[in-house]
Amino acid sequence: MNKISVIIKREYVTRVRKKSFIIMTVLAPLLMAAIFILPTVFMMNQGGEHKKIAVVEDNSDLFKGVVPNTKDAEFIYLENTKVEDLKKSFENSGYYGILWISPELINTPNAVELISKQQPPIGLLQHIENSLKKEIERQKLLAYKIDNLDDIMKNIETSVSIQTINIDSTGAVKKTSTGIAMALAYIFGFLMYMLVFIFGAQVMRGVIEEKTSRVVEVIISSVKPVQLMLGKIVGIALVGLTQFLIWIFLTVAIITVLKTTLLSKTDMTEITQNVPQNVMSGSQTVAVSTQQADVSPKLAEFSMLFDSAMNQPWVLIIICFIFYFITGYLLYASVFAAIGSAVDNETETQQFMLPVTIPIILALMVAMGTMQNPESSLSFWCSMIPLTSPIVMMARIPFGVPYWQIAVSMIIMLVTFAGFVWMAAKVYRTGILMYGKKTSWKEMWKWLRYSG
Amino acid sequence: MPLFEAKNITKQFANHLALDNVSISVPEQCIYGLLGPNGAGKTTLIRIINQITGPDTGELFLDGKKLMPEDVQFIGYLPEERGLYKKMKVGEQAVYFAQLKGLSKAEAMKRLKYWFKKLDIVDWWGKKVEELSKGMQQKVQFIITILHEPKLLIFDEPFTGFDPLNANIIKNEILFLRERGATIIFSTHNMASVEELCDNITLIDKAKTILEGSVDEIRSKWAANEYDLIYEGDVKIEGNGHYNVLNQKQENNKSIIRLKTTGTINTNEILQTLMKSGNINSFNPALPSMNEIFIRVIEARN
């Protein structure tokens, strides 16, 4: 109806023109970009922090040169040095830590110590453990006196990376990636949560504003309360979508710009350094047939991820996202509108907010669980129950959901959403004209049954 | 045929009866006063007329036809608690409300320009409502109420918040609107303005109608055989079997006397007796003020 569109327009225009909207719209992508960029910057800086680690043994040189240097750590093998002496002069030695290896290590797994002031990073420990393990294995094999052991060792060196393939009912297969599916599940679930909550709460605040300023009486002598409520809900939904689209656009733009200007130098040199090395080591290895894939494992991995991302059912995802966003938002926003109408100011909303917040938080938690186990019955039921389905179903879809389940969930959603809007409208109609009375759930239940 | 009628309206809220079988009938081009103490049910009745809430039982008629939701365009409502969006600019807001009443944007602009000029508030067009004083906001709200030229106007306490000068401007605008054909329902506690403006009234107390009719009729009915008599000079009289003297005083070389007749003989005969006492300047039935009537009626019920 024409009057609804007038209301929608006002709700939209006044919000979009607000300073806070403009500031948030510009600021949020900067923050998002910072979240993406900062870890990279930190990682680059970390590379500069060089750790020197002294390696000592007791009266032997079994493990000399066994632990290779890494980008962050240099291993200095000290011959004829007692670990006790080193410990005493540790403070001024400039070493990050002392790696003490006992010759017993071959038989006793824990006969090795890393002595340092700080807790060493897990990556460093793994590096040391792996290097030592390999060396011990090599020495044990040597004891069998096998000919050409070195060649054999080189030949059997392999790496394994599972490629997951999804098969559908027609027998067609698709390369997928659980990583991508998890990322998408996370993004969609969280996005839905944010949109529903932030903009649903805005609806509530708008209703309270109209009620406390008594504008509502003037308006509903011109339009029906339901029209005002729906106009507000739809107007704010459009504000949300506008902000959301600008955010995506700006975030992508900022990240692209920053990446190309800030990071281009280091990234490019790293890649150009990596490629020839890989080519060289590749040509040294025997397996010629698989060279193509081996040339640049990084690139291959990336293209696989990319393939997998492209293989997601994007049309389905987008349709579902729009559907669940609209219905989920309308469902919660109408509840928020009803709450807003029942109270006199924002502080009074607390008692009503909790029961509304719980299903949303629950949905978010189940969505997190869904990433671990998409087929669990908890995920299934939560993707059917309309209060949680928008978030949980969106988290499930990247892992593949049978169409009938989506259809059933959508139908339940539509029915519930219509019911909620109808009930909310009834509460709203009575609530917006009630002043000065503390409202209880019981009271709201009564309003539901008022006629006219 | 009355322009607006409400018949046997009853409205029950959860734990109290707001209106009990109340009827009003508002003739065309009449200023109709809706009176009553606080909490009598006036606002509920006004909300029902505006179709903000529905009655439990009873019927509403506009122009002889049943009141329909579409009829809001023929009704203008100035609520007692003024409501404007505080952060919105005056002009935009006025256009918005006009559009909600069904005016096109261009038409709304045209009429708003006329009224803003007439009430001398053109400079406020671009200001936010929160920057205006209460009286200024009232003027804006008044314009919003009448902009769509409704047949039926409902003013709930239209003069609160105005200084005497602006109150007079608004009063004249209300009279002007009636001349142009509008019918006005007017709810107030200000009895002086009732005497000044209203043609008819209904007095509601505790959900029930307890007094209704034209202001003149009600006042003469409550006059109860009292007369104001003024003599030139210093005159004193005493009551007899036909009349009693309620009080007398001297002012500006005049004697002002309040009489109550006992109804045994008519006023001409009484006058003949009175003429003997001195030179009569005036002899008028003493009409009680609406204020007196209001207080007497309500107190009698308690």
Q: Which residue, of B219, B251, B277, is where some domain finishes?
A: B219
Whether A211 and A345 map to the same domain: the answer is yes
Residues of B in contact with A219 (CB under 8 A): 83, 97, 100
d(CA B144, CA A218): 9
Task: Give the alpha-carbon dihedral of A136, A140, A143, A148, to 10 degrees.
Answer: -80
Whether B26 and B171 map to the same domain: the answer is yes
Take residue B6 and report the two structure tokens written for it.
Answer: 């409400």
Question: Which is more confidently placed, B285 or B110?
Answer: B110
B204 within a domain of the structure (yes/no): yes
Whether A124 and A196 map to the same domain: the answer is no
Whether B277 and B200 map to the same domain: the answer is no
3-state secondary structure of B12: strand
Chain A interface disruption, residue of B11, B38, B52, most A CBs within 10 A: B52
B167 within a domain of the structure (yes/no): yes
Closest listed residue to residue A174, CA positions, set A314, A373, A59, A65:
A314
User: What is the domain extent for residue B166?
Assistant: 4-219
B205 within a domain of the structure (yes/no): yes
A286 within a domain of the structure (yes/no): no
A163 within a domain of the structure (yes/no): no
Whether B97 and B232 map to the same domain: the answer is no
Whether A377 and A429 map to the same domain: the answer is yes
Q: What is the DSSP letter of B52?
A: S
pLDDT of residue A36: 67
Q: How many helices (H) and strands (E) does chain A have?
A: 18, 6
Q: What is the DSSP letter of A393?
A: H
d(CA A316, CA B94): 45
B284 within a domain of the structure (yes/no): yes
B77 within a domain of the structure (yes/no): yes
Residues of A in contact with B100 (CB under 8 A): 3, 6-7, 219, 222-223
Nearest CA in chain A to B83: A215
Whether B145 and B278 map to the same domain: the answer is no
> Which secondary structure element, helix H or strand E, spans residue B11, and what is its range?
strand B4-12
pLDDT of residue A409: 92
- Per-residue pLDDT of A350-403, as tens digits, reads 888 888 888 888 888 888 887 777 778 888 888 888 888 888 888 888 777 888
CATH number at residue B135: 3.40.50.300
Burial A46-66 (b: 16+ CB within 10 A, else e): eeeeebebbbbbeeeeebeeb
d(CA A29, CA A25): 7
Q: What is the mean pLDDT of chain B?
A: 88
Q: Are A232 and A199 in contact (CB under 8 A)?
A: no
Whether B139 and B240 map to the same domain: the answer is no
A93 within a domain of the structure (yes/no): yes
B300 within a domain of the structure (yes/no): no
Whether B169 and B213 map to the same domain: the answer is yes
Contacts of residue B181, Cβ cutoff 8 Å, sequence gap at least 6:
B29, B151
Whether B55 and B96 map to the same domain: the answer is yes
Question: CA-based angle B96:B100:B104, to the nearest 5?
Answer: 75
Q: What's this model's pTM, rounded to 2 decimal places? A: 0.70
Whether A321 and A444 map to the same domain: the answer is yes
CA distances from A383 to A181, A375, A410, B302 (A): 17, 11, 10, 63
Take residue B30 and report the two structure tokens written for it.
Answer: 């009449």
pLDDT of residue B71: 86
Whether B148 and B22 map to the same domain: the answer is yes
Chain A interface disruption, residue of B100, B140, B143, most A CBs within 10 A: B100
**Cβ distance of A221 and B51 shorter than 8 Å:** yes
Along the 452 residues of chain A, how does pLDDT read in single tens digits?
Answer: 588 999 999 999 999 988 888 898 888 878 877 776 676 666 666 555 678 888 888 777 778 888 888 877 888 888 877 788 888 888 777 888 888 888 788 888 888 888 888 788 878 888 888 888 888 888 888 888 888 877 887 787 777 777 666 666 666 666 666 677 777 777 777 777 887 888 888 899 999 988 888 888 888 888 888 889 999 999 998 998 888 788 878 877 877 777 677 655 544 444 444 444 444 444 444 333 444 444 455 556 556 666 666 666 777 887 888 888 888 888 889 999 988 888 888 788 888 888 888 888 888 888 888 777 777 888 888 888 888 888 888 888 877 788 888 999 999 999 998 888 888 888 888 888 777 666 777 777 777 776 54
> Which secondary structure element, helix H or strand E, spans residue B153, and what is its range?
strand B152-156
Whether A203 and A344 map to the same domain: the answer is yes
CATH number at residue A119: 3.40.190.10
pLDDT of residue A48: 52
Candidate from B47, B72, B82 with C-beta closest to A214: B82
d(CA A417, CA A423): 10
Q: Are A373 and A379 in contact (CB under 8 A)?
A: yes
Take residue A15 and report the two structure tokens written for it.
Answer: 């919000």
B293 within a domain of the structure (yes/no): no
pLDDT of residue B265: 78
Whether B81 and B35 map to the same domain: the answer is yes
3-state secondary structure of A96: coil
3-state secondary structure of B21: strand
Closest listed residue to residue B118, CA positions, set B97, B143, B91:
B143
Whether A203 and A244 map to the same domain: the answer is yes
- Give the distance from residue B233's alpha carbon to the nearest chain A alpha carbon, in angstroms: 58
Whether A197 and A134 map to the same domain: the answer is no
Q: Are A32 and A247 in contact (CB under 8 A)?
A: yes
A25 within a domain of the structure (yes/no): no
d(CA A164, CA A174): 8
Take residue A426 and report the two structure tokens written for it.
Answer: 């009834």
A209 within a domain of the structure (yes/no): yes
Whether A140 and A227 map to the same domain: the answer is no
pLDDT of residue A262: 60
A409 within a domain of the structure (yes/no): yes
Whether B69 and B104 map to the same domain: the answer is yes
A281 within a domain of the structure (yes/no): no
Percent of chain A with pLDDT over 90: 7
Give the mean pLDDT of B256-273. 83
Whether B204 and B231 map to the same domain: the answer is no
Number of structural domains (chain A) is 2
Q: Which residue, of A152, A168, A201, is where some domain finishes?
A: A152
B168 within a domain of the structure (yes/no): yes
**Cβ distance of B54 and A6 shorter than 8 Å:** no
Q: Which residues between 210 and 229 in chain A have a beta carbon less than 8 angstroms from any beta carbon of chain B? A: 210, 213-224
User: What is the domain extent for residue A240?
Assistant: 177-254+310-448
Q: Which residue, of B168, B194, B219, is where some domain finishes?
A: B219
pLDDT of residue A44: 61
A322 within a domain of the structure (yes/no): yes
Whether B207 and B230 map to the same domain: the answer is no
3-state secondary structure of B34: strand
Number of structural domains (chain B) is 2
What is the sign, positive or negative, of the torsion defined by CA atoms of B83, B88, B91, B92? Answer: negative
Closest listed residue to residue A206, CA positions, set A428, A426, A436:
A428
Whether A141 and A196 map to the same domain: the answer is no
Q: Which residue, of B173, B200, B219, is where some domain finishes?
A: B219
